[in-house]
Structure 1
């Protein structure tokens, strides 16, 4: 692989696992609204990486679009404070790896989450100084390939790569015309990648030693 000038990371399944926190944010709202739905971790884990509209159709099939969106907005409003309280599980080597990688690359986070969630994650993880910028699906409701291009244009990135954990991440990277790096410890599976890593420490080592 040609040495990139920037690394764009997916968040959920790539940098951390916060499914328990996300499930709690749904269940708190359903309980408070008297809605007879309980979201289990296993069900929600299968939806990690989906765009919001697809998630809410799956979780609330019996509601109309307006009601789904209203509930989803309430869930996300509460999710910010819940992330600060509960956090999630940062994958082994992520905090140290990002600090190291930031000495050689511009680092970004791009996720299909709601607006503000990436910032909540960055603050909880204490990695703000290492991340140059972030962009969530909830900002403009556009697919990842579009938002990858937006980040590239905004920051004049010449040779970015996208790092994620799902087949969809790979597909969106291909559409955007950039290499895809797959981490297989997350929530998804794919055979279509340019590089694959079993853990974040190996990923960090590879990119720190990459010449070019």
Structure 2
């Protein structure tokens, strides 16, 4: 058995949920704030990787929205409910790659800057609950991503780990946690001198082997 935990970012690394997320938020806006322009997929992509607090402060920052916090809280909650039945777009070879890594003996986990329930919705709608041994969310702990990475490592008894993500913020969090970082270059962001790079999930097993060797 391997002694290494592979920890994944979610948005831009394992799936792209921007379509259903925009749909769910627009439903809330049409009901609670009908004067707001509808969100586009590009709008959602622009805030991927932020915490929900940061997203609430960024979207429509130039507009005065009565009850802004309450409305965005509704969006946050309804988004999770919506994603249970509206799966985001899984990146190619997601299932086969995760199964191959698990067969090799690696532990698999997810750490995301999302709200409480978002990762559970991903696991349910994608049918991937059997693949991952643990996950953590900003909404559940209030901790930084680096702290949550370390939390998942420690509570599962791993001393070695690798984080796979798509943005510079992911890389910075990985550095904070003291782990190597593999950049998912097909995602939403860039990185600077990562320890490894993948252009598709199917490349991950070989990049991990090279990194560990």
Q: Structure 1 length as normaliser, TM-score?
A: 0.91
Cα distance in 1 between the residues matched to 2:162 and 2:168: 15
1:108-149: per-residue Cα shift (whole Å, max 9, x none)?
Answer: 000011100100101111111110001011102211011111
Cα distance in 2 between the residues matched to 1:198 and 1:183: 6
Cα distance in 1 between the residues matched to 2:34 and 2:193: 40
- Find the counterpart in structure 1 of residue 86 from structure 2: 86
- Find the counterpart in structure 1 of residue 131 from structure 2: 130
Cα distance in 2 between the residues matched to 1:198 and 1:6: 21
Structure 1: stretches of 5+ with no match in the other structure: none
Cα distance in 1 between the residues matched to 2:60 and 2:54: 10
* CA drift at 1:153: 1.4
- Find the counterpart in structure 2 of residue 34 from structure 1: 33
On the 8 A contact 2:86/2:125 being kept in 1, the answer is no
- Find the counterpart in structure 2 of residue 142 from structure 1: 143
On the 8 A contact 2:6/2:161 being kept in 1, the answer is yes
On the 8 A contact 1:98/1:130 being kept in 2, the answer is yes
- Find the counterpart in structure 2 of residue 46 from structure 1: 46
Cα distance in 1 between the residues matched to 2:28 and 2:212: 50
- Find the counterpart in structure 2 of residue 171 from structure 1: 172
Cα distance in 2 between the residues matched to 1:187 and 1:6: 24
- Find the counterpart in structure 2 of residue 23 from structure 1: 22
On the 8 A contact 1:113/1:136 being kept in 2, the answer is yes
* CA drift at 1:63: 5.1
* CA drift at 1:67: 3.6
1:2-55: per-residue Cα shift (whole Å, max 9, x none)?
Answer: x86110000000000110111111111110113422211112201100111111
How many matched pairs?
209
3-state secondary structure, aligned to 1:46? helix
Does residue 185 in structure 1 map to residue 183 in structure 2? no
Cα distance in 1 between the residues matched to 2:175 and 2:205: 22
Structure 2: stretches of 5+ with no match in the other structure: none
Q: Structure 2 length as normaliser, TM-score?
A: 0.90
* CA drift at 1:86: 2.2
Cα distance in 2 between the residues matched to 1:194 and 1:127: 27
Does residue 10 in structure 1 map to residue 9 in structure 2? yes
| RMSD of aligned Cα (Å) | 2.0
- Find the counterpart in structure 2 of residue 96 from structure 1: 96
- Find the counterpart in structure 1 of residue 110 from structure 2: 109
* CA drift at 1:209: 7.6
On the 8 A contact 2:52/2:76 being kept in 1, the answer is no
3-state secondary structure, aligned to 1:70? helix
